[in-house]
Structure 1
């Protein structure tokens, strides 16, 4: 084994996760536009080809009940179900299930076969159909093939060609284990951010129950926490589990360890990416979880069988033939049996998982089950909408949704925005508004911080947040500590006055939104700061943002976007958090990755904002200049100057004093988020460039470019 830098120095700050933001690893050329390619598809022909694969058994892989539908539903579910709200990462976008670690997760056993079955479809349509879209569409076609009416489908998931190494899956070093470090204070049921799955290598929770024990109360608790972190409420949770378990079966005819070969990433080269090789003749089909049996008597038909079986029969926990805990009906002769998955002349007794029985024993979940049983149409509609949400939750706003089956309705979880019913401002109006903004009492720092606070909520993982909508003026964002609510109110009131005066003065239909005005104010501040340093720059601006209402804003859903640390504003947070990131600088890199920033872009933004004096609560921390408000390279010059030394002033080592080595006088105060640009080798290498005598002009241009990039990250209408 060859050791990496991280092996030699485990505490080394990982910056390589930002490199993918600077380099495209796709085999397609830079002009490739997946949205254009997708819209050239004959969509109905694609669906027909998928259904043909689904209902035509292949000799090399056994189809349960002669139908691959349940397998394809599991594939789509496990692709989309990795999504978690806390950082917006994972999910179906990018087709990441075909790359490690998801490709070889224990919970994804044999899904490599499902994708390989679809290879002819992918090969036929090539670049017009991504794996990300194909995997999810196959799940929809499977549901429809078995009698279910789906709510719709949207394409637009461009494929990734490299695993997202920024995703933190947990602290464990072995699959299917749970360590105390996974939970805050080591307490089960309180997962550390940003996790959602409760067990390493499982999509959701352990189907046998917590720690592999048939504990229905603990299982219900795990389910609720997990599905809440997927942005699902109790009704959606029950609908998804009940709807998904209406189809197919689980496989545990024997102990998996006796028959299960290595996973795809560990399999020998001759297996060509397939893993978990089994001896089908010995085990009569396949083995996945070690749990055995269908949920209903009709595993390839949409009906009420799952809910009826769960509610109308009593269930007892037993060890199944695969050695795993499952539940059998107490009165086995009173439940309808299913045909054998491989031999229809035989029959199989329905079973339940601990997670299924947990729904029956939890009073809130049971109430939903009983309502669905009484009103099957409500169940159908709830599952249709919850499934649609599951497979589209990570795609962002509806303008990114492609294809003929996109619903007309925009849901609250899609962060809706109103359409502009007015003409947009042009260059002349933008210049006029910038002058008016700069003539107010607002400072460069206030304008820059407000624009940054608005735009930097964006995260590229699930395309949420950003300046569009001006949600910084709404709850919860206007009350976030990092946004300095009292000062923010002053800035917003002033900008609203400018907006009102401009809009009321127009005799035509030209209007400016507050969302555009906030960005424009930040741009004006940057241009003025550059001018103070002797540089004439124009920050690009594209109008078209609109203002969302409070009713269009799901407060609880937006809470997860609140920054715990913001390096650009030198905000260290309260320190009262327990997550998988050990230091403020790790959180800085994590946020930079979500903003799609490279290492130089992150460095330029931090140094530039320090020069502007745009720090949390306007403190002098990190403002290493005697000319705050001018876009200079002083931050880097003084950071790297060996005339100074650094001393921590708090026990945590978060805040430091910069002292003159000769006199001992304190020149400045700074934080870890400043020092890291001098202590980390890669960050210092970039800081050297910006801190050189000829580096200031480079910094100014790079700062403007990075600033402009962040301001327009959510402008999908411009793509």
Structure 2
């Protein structure tokens, strides 16, 4: 759970430059990190192009890091380096660090394990199911804003404690893996049998741009819909309740000590991170079995966060002038105390405390609202973390009290209390899920501790158990698919619908598994029309296997159908190309597909198919950029794909917006030339929302479009790319570039091809 510093840094102490950067990247109400505020950041002189022209779509999010930016070099292969790592030696070194207290930041009870658990939790716990952003998969806690979030107060000390280990093992262990491994090893060392662990998180060298919320102040809570109904969290795609928190305010909703309100917030936030009620209770209780909160004194004496510190501050923030500023004088969240008498040991004492005593509301020395036992016998249960011989009462936060006040949570808590072994198993599995939720399929997992058990939230896909088709069979299958009945447009749309479910943010979705034929994906509105194509592909599969005795997966055939259609469309345009295709996909079953888990992948918009769910708050061109980002595309790849897919007629439901050609199904340059045509006058449609009509001065209508089409002329960067592809000498380049970008999308989830 959260330990946040709710008032340690005054606004005037912030580093103004860093705040300006943070605010300019986080003031939209969109999930798309490219969207910025329409007003200058501080009401002063504009600093960026987005300040000057806020209506222009921001393409910077599509600027992918070049390999040369990696300090290990463009040829660095993390999996190969990791293979040289002595994992057991690394674990032993971590345990030694946990038991070696440092004077510059003394450990509680002589054990850094609880601090490392909090660090790992907060590294992974930013994950959110709605868009797959967050999580520990890139080591993002090292960078702003996460390294300076109020909820991450003093975790800079935990990361610094790990630096000698990182220096010892170097490139063989990433920071991303190390930050989450430390908490896992801490559990093992303190007595919990963990479920397992997977390595494989490669470091990023700059923070990913993520929209964390609409607030422009730390610990702002504008995502509550209204004061009259404060429990209605309005920003549905966000996971936490407050800017700068991982989950909920431990003092209660908006700082009010309301356990039932806190229960609501806990249930909402954890569910948005992919957890059910049982997993939620287990995580709260299991996490609070270890360690303590820190609120020894006046929080006004705590200095700024790391990004607000001066250059000579050694990169450490939250330096406190209260007493020694550390050890017994530490101030972090403002709450003070431990939950259990055995804070460095896995046991069931959290529930023993919760159910054995009467709890009353009080305040910590820092003035934070917390709960303590009124029973006299409970006043000296917990040994002090630093003062020998001193005993303290246990404490609970309002978020803890929610577990016994809310009827559903109480029933689960009671079950865990009465069945410690069951609680340990549920917690171990939930902890594993927390750490690995953003890693994607198990094919990306590395290391000796990967569990053998298959879990439905991992979107399992069967291993290949048959000989793959060769070149001759592929050629045969292409011919069969093109003759099966569906048009080029239908085959392209179906293949795109399967593959474009992929999210690079959490490595979920994609064509592998063939889930386009399963629920819920088959019934998504964006995929309208695939039902007419799937039976034809299934018949090709059945006939081929019956006639040749060889096997081929439906998942491979969906992609191959699109590949064959693109090749035909290019040939019909007079520029034949060979589109890359690598067999090896397999077919998942409905039992291996959790509809509740998969619903988060349903697109609300896909500008590549001119699809937009009615009622969206965001503009089509902004949503197009966000979709391109989740597919891992550059601005060039986005442009070439939109231009090609429009003329191929791949729009959902046969919508004609942007289909600027009378040769639908031919991979022509018609989209690029038409969108640049100054002879076409564009007007807002009187009949359809978010639609433009293009034609002559007499009011005639030759074309319709959305902003996801016209942005390729209105935006100077995109127009520059379009101008290249519109040129007479660019027909071959366009076809080749389209084929390459198409193959990239089709293979996004083929992680075994990327190693």
Indicate the residue corresponding to 1:178 in structure 2: 221
Counterparts of residues 245-644 of structure 1 (less than 5 Å): 245-257=288-300, 259-279=301-321, 281-282=323-324, 284-334=328-378, 336-484=380-528, 487-507=529-549, 510-575=550-615, 577=616, 582-644=618-680
2:698 maps to 1:666: no
Secondary structure in 2 matching 1:281: coil
On the 8 A contact 2:658/2:703 being kept in 1, the answer is yes
Task: Find the aligned partners of 2:234 and 2:687 in 1 and give their Cα distance.
Answer: 27
Deviations 1:26-46 (A, max 9, x none): 222222111111121111100
Secondary structure in 1 matching 2:705: strand
Task: Find the aligned partners of 2:97 and 2:323 in 1 and give their Cα distance.
Answer: 23
Indicate the residue corresponding to 1:130 in structure 2: 174
Task: Find the aligned partners of 1:157 and 1:619 in 2 and give their Cα distance.
Answer: 41
- Name the CA shift for 1:684/1:7 in 2 (closer, same or farther; >3 Å): same
- Name the CA shift for 1:182/1:78 in 2 (closer, same or farther; >3 Å): farther
On the 8 A contact 1:242/1:306 being kept in 2, the answer is yes
Counterparts of residues 5-154 of structure 1 (less than 5 Å): 5-20=49-64, 25-154=69-198
Task: Find the aligned partners of 1:502 and 1:185 in 2 and give their Cα distance.
Answer: 63
Secondary structure in 1 matching 2:682: strand
Secondary structure in 1 matching 2:61: helix
On the 8 A contact 2:499/2:746 being kept in 1, the answer is yes
Task: Find the aligned partners of 2:114 and 2:362 in 1 and give their Cα distance.
Answer: 25
2:741 maps to 1:699: no
Secondary structure in 1 matching 2:565: helix
Task: Find the aligned partners of 1:718 and 1:183 in 2 and give their Cα distance.
Answer: 49
C-alpha displacement of 1:343? 1.2
Task: Find the aligned partners of 1:334 and 1:109 in 2 and give their Cα distance.
Answer: 30
Number of equivalent positions: 708
Task: Find the aligned partners of 1:246 and 1:13 in 2 and give their Cα distance.
Answer: 47
> Which is worse superposed, 613-622 or 633-642?
613-622
Task: Find the aligned partners of 1:8 and 1:548 in 2 and give their Cα distance.
Answer: 49
C-alpha displacement of 1:628? 1.2
On the 8 A contact 1:657/1:667 being kept in 2, the answer is yes
Indicate the residue corresponding to 2:745 in structure 1: 710
Task: Find the aligned partners of 2:226 and 2:555 in 1 and give their Cα distance.
Answer: 39
Secondary structure in 1 matching 2:88: helix
C-alpha displacement of 1:319? 2.1
C-alpha displacement of 1:648? 0.8
Deviations 1:166-186 (A, max 9, x none): x11001000001115778998
Structure 2 unaligned residues grouped into runs of 5+:
1-16, 18-45
TM-score normalised by the chain length of structure 1: 0.96
Task: Find the aligned partners of 1:611 and 1:639 in 2 and give their Cα distance.
Answer: 12
Task: Find the aligned partners of 1:650 and 1:275 in 2 and give their Cα distance.
Answer: 56
On the 8 A contact 1:170/1:182 being kept in 2, the answer is no
On the 8 A contact 2:223/2:234 being kept in 1, the answer is no
TM-score normalised by the chain length of structure 2: 0.92
> Which is worse superposed, 241-250 or 342-351?
342-351
> Which is worse superposed, 514-523 or 34-43?
34-43
Deviations 1:646-666 (A, max 9, x none): 0011488510110123x4321
- Name the CA shift for 1:347/1:185 in 2 (closer, same or farther; >3 Å): closer
Task: Find the aligned partners of 2:749 and 2:382 in 1 and give their Cα distance.
Answer: 50
C-alpha displacement of 1:305? 1.0
CA RMSD of aligned residues (A): 1.7
C-alpha displacement of 1:542? 0.3
- Name the CA shift for 1:188/1:433 in 2 (closer, same or farther; >3 Å): same
Task: Find the aligned partners of 1:121 and 1:23 in 2 and give their Cα distance.
Answer: 25
C-alpha displacement of 1:446? 0.3
Task: Find the aligned partners of 1:626 and 1:21 in 2 and give their Cα distance.
Answer: 39
Task: Find the aligned partners of 1:472 and 1:313 in 2 and give their Cα distance.
Answer: 53
1:683 to 692, 713, 718: 718
Structure 1 unaligned residues grouped into runs of 5+:
none
On the 8 A contact 1:79/1:97 being kept in 2, the answer is yes
Task: Find the aligned partners of 1:156 and 1:635 in 2 and give their Cα distance.
Answer: 41
Task: Find the aligned partners of 1:296 and 1:348 in 2 and give their Cα distance.
Answer: 10
> Which is worse superposed, 337-346 or 219-228?
337-346
Secondary structure in 2 matching 1:647: strand
Secondary structure in 1 matching 2:467: coil
Task: Find the aligned partners of 1:363 and 1:344 in 2 and give their Cα distance.
Answer: 40
Task: Find the aligned partners of 1:653 and 1:511 in 2 and give their Cα distance.
Answer: 47
- Name the CA shift for 1:112/1:417 in 2 (closer, same or farther; >3 Å): same
Deviations 1:216-266 (A, max 9, x none): 111000000100011111110011110110010000111312x21111111
C-alpha displacement of 1:588? 1.3
On the 8 A contact 1:420/1:544 being kept in 2, the answer is yes
Indicate the residue corresponding to 2:13 in structure 1: none
